[in-house]
Every structure is written in C-alpha cells, then in structure tokens.
C-alpha cells in the first residue's frame, strides 16, 4: 500500500513539475512572440518609411529622367535646326549623333550613320587624323577647307569635355560652301571682264581709225592694180585682214559693253526656224548629219529672240565643226515647269577636262582661226537672261551643251507671241 501511494505521489510531483515547465516555456514563448511581433511591427514601420522614401526618390528620379530626355530632345532640335552639318563622335571615333543636313551631305540615312565608324560614312569629306588630334590632344580646328568630287566644305572640329574635364568625344561641323565658291569664281570672272571691257573700249577706239584708213587705202590700191593679178591678190589680202580684225574688235566691244535686251514673248521653235538655214548649210558643207526637234512647240517664253538665236547658231556651228565627216549633231528644244532649254549634242572630238572650265573665258579657243569670243558672248547673253549653260563632255565622245533659261510664272507677261518674224542679225561665231 505504501509503495502504491509513493508512486502516486511521485507521478503527481512529476506532473506538477512538467506543468510548471510548460508554464515557464509558454511564458518564454509568449515573451519571444511579443518581441517578434514588436520587431515585425518595427520592421514594417521602417519598410513603410523606406517604401515611401523609395517612391519619393523614384518620382524624383523619373522627373530627372524626363528633364534629361527633354534636354536631349531640345539639343537634338537645336542640332536639327542648324543649316550646317553636325556630327558627334565618341573617343573610339564611332558616330553618336548627327543631324538631317549631314544625312543629305553624305547621302545616307541616320541608321547608316549612327554607331558606325567615322571613316566609313564621310564620302571623302572626313579627316580621321584631324579628329584623332582633337580627341587625343584637345586641339580645335576652324574652317578647314575639304574638297571631294564636286563638293567643297569648311570643317570646324572641337573636343567635348565631361564635367571632370576629361575628353569624351568630339563634334564636327561641316559647312557646304560649294555654291559660294562658284559665286566667288563668277564674281572674279566678272571683275576680269570689267577690266577687259575698259581696256577694250579704249584700245578699240585707237585701233579702229587707223584700221579704217588701212582698209580704205588697200581698196584704192587694189583698184589701181587692175591688170596685175599677183599684186591685186596681195592688196585683197590686206583688205581681208583689216575686215577680220575689225570683226574681232566689234565682237570684243559687243562682249565688253553692257547688253541691252529687246525682250518679247515668242515661241522657242522660232529660234530653230530662223537658224536652220545657216546651220544646215554648214552641216552640208562638212558632211555632218544635222537633226532638229522642237518638244515645246506650244510653249511661250520671254526673252530677246535675236540674241538667243545668236547663241543657238554659235553653239550649233561649234558642234558641227567639231564633228568629222558623217558625224551627227542633234539640236532640240525642251521644256519643264520652271525652265526651258536649247540642247546641242554632237559626237565630235569632245572637250578635255582641263579645258571645260575655260571655254567661256574670252580669247580661249582651240579652233584654228577662232577668236575665243563666241562662247564668252553666248554665256553673257544667257546670263543676262537669268539662265546658265551646262556642259557635259567626254574626250573623243562628243559634247552636250544645255542652254537653260527660266520660264516666267503664268500671267507674268501679257504680250502676244510674235511668230516667224525675220530679223537680220549677224551671229558671232568663235
């Protein structure tokens, strides 16, 4: 009995101990749970604060990104608004940015420029060594002339610096001055022509009087030498020489003095009909095949038909005389919306590249017995009409002369065109 009682007491004490241990463990767990809960609440509070700060920073960063994007777009708009070509490269000489003017200059779209090596996209107008000096040495260059084919540009190149002062790339600006150089050349030519005109006016007056006297006495001498054929022939040569010299002086004076046009409205076909006899006679004489075509028969243009006929005859005779026997010369009249043109095409000896730039200069000629004034006078006549003469040639393959003249806007003149009005006028032939 005593043993059973002791066992019960032991079990009761053991249960009480376990219960106390459970209570202690629960209190510890409860304390730890409260601590974890408090830590969780603290962390959640800190996370909320951090999230709010992060959202604020994100909003601020988004604003900065938007501001940077707007600045970048504004910069691109500024670059695009420039009339000069702009190109930006990095330190590896790869293109980062360009404007549309640069695309037109290089004949490439932006996708073919951006990201590409500089040396591959410049069509002969670039200078890799200059860019390398700018990036490596921090040098700058202003208005350095570059020439490629028929394009002339002035290049200015400067380094691009980062806020810390290091070079991060370079910007190149190309200004197309092709047209300006052409105008400068025309101006220089015009100045030479003014000087030539002043000289011609003074010299011609001094020459003409004694020249007239020489011709007069030579005619008298030729009359007195009738019956002496050999001596008469010599006297006739004196008369002929004096007349030729007088023709050159007259032509020179016509070129040098200010040109007065007698403009009227007329049909371009009139020029073909009034010059065909002269041109066809010379073509028949040299055995050259001449063809004429009027593709603007219904058009009405404004100008001095006598002067323009002189241009057509001059260029036409030059073309005929440049051909060998059996050669071909084609003369055609063409019209577009804003211009009309007289085209003279031959398959003769052509003009060398070295001579093309000089053919409109006074006294420049490769023709035996030529004065070198015919094309110069033609160019002046066309220029006074507001037009130009374009020349396309290949040596030994012929020449194409395009006399390009403006068409006045509709209603710019009210006069009726004069058709088939024959006016005697001597053409100047180089």
The tens digit of pLDDT for each residue in 261-279 reads 888 898 888 999 889 999 9
Burial of 135 (0-12, 13-18, 19+ CB in 10 A): buried
Residue 428 in domain: no
Counting other chains too, the contacts that 279-288 makes at CB distance below 8 Å and 24 or more residues apart are 279/313, 279/316, 279/317, 279/320, 279/331, 282/317, 282/320, 282/321, 283/320, 283/329, 286/320, 286/321, 286/323, 286/325, 287/325, 287/326, 288/320, 288/323, 288/325, 288/326, 288/327, 288/328, 288/329
Residue 414 in domain: no
For the cut 90, the answer to whether the pLDDT of residue 408 exceeds it is no
Residue 4 in domain: yes
Q: Above pLDDT 70, what percent of the chain? A: 90
Q: For the ranges 125-134, 238-247, 337-346, which has the lowest average pLDDT?
A: 238-247
Q: Which residues contact 333 (CB under 8 A, 6 or more apart)?
A: 268, 269, 271, 272, 293, 294, 295, 296, 340, 341, 342, 343
The total number of structural domains that make up the chain: 4
| Kind and range of the H or E run holding 357 | none
In angstroms, the CA 327 to CA 411 distance is 43
How confident is the model over 202-229, as pLDDT tens digits?
A: 777 778 778 888 888 888 888 888 888 8
Tell me 427's DSSP state: P
The helix-helix angle for 229-256 and 178-224 (nearest 10°) equals: 150
Residue 419 in domain: no
- Asked if 97 contacts 88 with a C-beta cutoff of 8 angstroms, the reply is yes
- Tell me which of 230, 256, 282 is where a domain ends: 256
The helix-helix angle for 374-384 and 305-322 (nearest 10°) equals: 140
Residue 400 in domain: yes
Residue 320 in domain: yes
For the chain, the average pLDDT equals: 82
Shared domain check, 268 and 383: yes
Residue 186 in domain: yes
Shared domain check, 132 and 209: no
Shared domain check, 8 and 92: no
pLDDT band at 342 (very low <50, low <70, confident <90, very high): very high
Shared domain check, 224 and 268: no
In this prediction, residue 258 carries a pLDDT of: 73
Residue, of 424 and 339, whose pLDDT is higher: 339
Residue 74 in domain: yes
Whole-model pTM above 0.75? no
Shared domain check, 300 and 360: yes
Which ranges of 82-177 does DSSP label H, i.e. alpha helix? 100-106, 128-137
Shared domain check, 346 and 276: yes
CATH number at residue 361: 3.30.565.10
Shared domain check, 230 and 99: no
**Structure tokens, 173:** 């600006």
Question: Across 212-216, 293-297, 386-390, which has the greatest mean pLDDT?
Answer: 386-390
In angstroms, the CA 274 to CA 333 distance is 14
- Domain encompassing residue 360: 264-406
Shared domain check, 271 and 328: yes
- Asked if 346 contacts 328 with a C-beta cutoff of 8 angstroms, the reply is yes
Shared domain check, 394 and 317: yes
Shared domain check, 280 and 387: yes
How confident is the model over 64-120, as pLDDT tens digits?
A: 888 888 887 787 777 777 888 899 999 999 999 888 888 888 888 888 889 999 988
- Tell me which of 212, 232, 256 is where a domain ends: 256
Shared domain check, 17 and 87: no
CATH number at residue 145: 3.30.450.20
- Tell me which of 113, 143, 176 is where a domain ends: 176
Shared domain check, 268 and 382: yes
């Amino acid at each position: 009995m005593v043993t059973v009682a002791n066992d019960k007491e032991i079990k009761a004490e053991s249960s009480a101990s376990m219960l106390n241990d459970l209570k202690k463990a629960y209190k510890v767990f409860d304390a730890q749970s409260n601590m974890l809960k408090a830590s969780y609440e603290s962390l959640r509070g800190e996370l909320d604060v951090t999230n709010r700060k992060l959202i604020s920073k994100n909003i601020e960063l988004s604003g900065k990104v938007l501001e940077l994007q707007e600045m970048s777009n504004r910069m691109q708009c500024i670059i695009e608004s420039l009339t000069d070509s702009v190109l930006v490269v990095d330190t590896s000489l790869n293109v980062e940015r360009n404007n549309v003017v640069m695309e037109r200059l290089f004949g490439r779209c932006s996708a073919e420029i951006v990201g590409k090596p500089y040396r591959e996209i410049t069509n002969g107008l670039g200078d890799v060594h200059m860019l390398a000096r700018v990036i490596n040495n921090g040098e700058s260059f202003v208005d350095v002339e570059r020439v490629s084919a028929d394009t002339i540009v002035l290049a200015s190149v400067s380094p691009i610096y980062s806020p810390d002062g290091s070079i991060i790339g370079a910007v190149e600006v190309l200004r197309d001055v092709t047209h300006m150089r052409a105008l400068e050349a025309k101006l220089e030519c015009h100045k030479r022509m003014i000087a030539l005109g002043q000289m011609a006016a003074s010299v011609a007056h001094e020459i003409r009087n004694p020249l007239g006297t020489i011709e007069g006495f030579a005619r008298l001498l030729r009359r007195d030498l009738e019956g002496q054929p050999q001596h008469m022939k010599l006297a006739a040569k004196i008369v002929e020489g004096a007349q030729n010299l007088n023709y050159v002086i007259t032509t020179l004076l016509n070129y040098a003095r200010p040109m007065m046009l007698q403009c009227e409205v007329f049909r371009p076909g009139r020029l073909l009909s009034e010059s065909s006899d002269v041109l066809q006679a010379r073509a028949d004489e040299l055995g050259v095949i001449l063809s004429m075509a009027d593709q603007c028969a219904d058009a009405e243009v404004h100008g001095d038909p006598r002067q323009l006929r002189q241009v057509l005859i001059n260029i036409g005779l030059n073309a005929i005389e440049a051909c060998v026997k059996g050669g071909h010369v084609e003369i055609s009249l063409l019209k577009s919306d804003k211009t009309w043109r007289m085209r003279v095409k031959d398959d003769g000896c052509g003009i060398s590249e070295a001579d093309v730039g000089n053919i409109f200069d006074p006294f420049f000629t490769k023709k035996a017995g030529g004065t070198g004034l015919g094309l110069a006078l033609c160019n002046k006549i066309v220029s006074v009409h507001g037009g130009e003469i374009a020349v396309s040639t290949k040596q030994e393959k012929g020449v194409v002369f395009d006399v390009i003249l403006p068409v006045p806007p509709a209603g710019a003149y009210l006069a009726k065109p004069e058709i088939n009005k024959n006016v005697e006028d001597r053409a100047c032939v180089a």
